[in-house]
Amino acid sequence: MKSLEELKKLREESINNMEMRNTDKEIRVVVGMATCGIAAGARPVLNSFVEEIAKRNIKNVEVVQTGCIGMCTYEPIVEVFYPDKEKVTYVHIDAEKAKRIVAQHLVNGNVVKEYTVGSLEK
């Protein structure tokens, strides 16, 4: 820190990141962060979701982490929950795919089907 302004900016970013983890949001994004997920690259995925949602100033989405989702070979895994809808499970996600999920699914409501667990069955 070199100035009070830098400290204020850091504080504001921290508050925004904590607000994103608030549990009373409409949409929930869950990133698998067990050792299998972390080893496969889940940390940059989680960070990408947090940064992209903050950049777009999306207020109705919470981003949380969980332990093992149970499909280790498909890590990094992200699950998206909307109220009254079936969850969407995304597999083999990286930071760029996370940005696309934010843009298409969270902003526009369109599931990115080629990233879902269902796309593996074809």
Per residue in 8-64, pLDDT tens?
888 877 776 666 555 567 899 999 999 999 999 999 999 999 999 999 999 899 999
Rounded mean pLDDT, 89-93: 97
Domains and CATH numbers, the chain: 24-121 (3.40.30.10)
Average pLDDT, the chain: 89
DSSP 8-class letter at 73: G
Contacts of 60 (CB under 8 A, 6+ apart): 25, 26, 27
Whole-structure pTM over 0.85, yes or no?
A: no
More confident residue, 6 or 114: 114
Cα(17)–Cα(88) distance, rounded to whole angstroms? 23
Range of 19-23, 66-70, 103-107 with top mean pLDDT: 103-107
**Quick one: pLDDT at residue 19?**
60
More confident residue, 75 or 6: 75
**Quick one: pLDDT at residue 16?**
65
State which H helix or E strand residue 13 sits in. helix 4-20
**Quick one: pLDDT at residue 20?**
54
Radius of gyration of the chain (CA): 15
**Quick one: pLDDT at residue 25?**
78
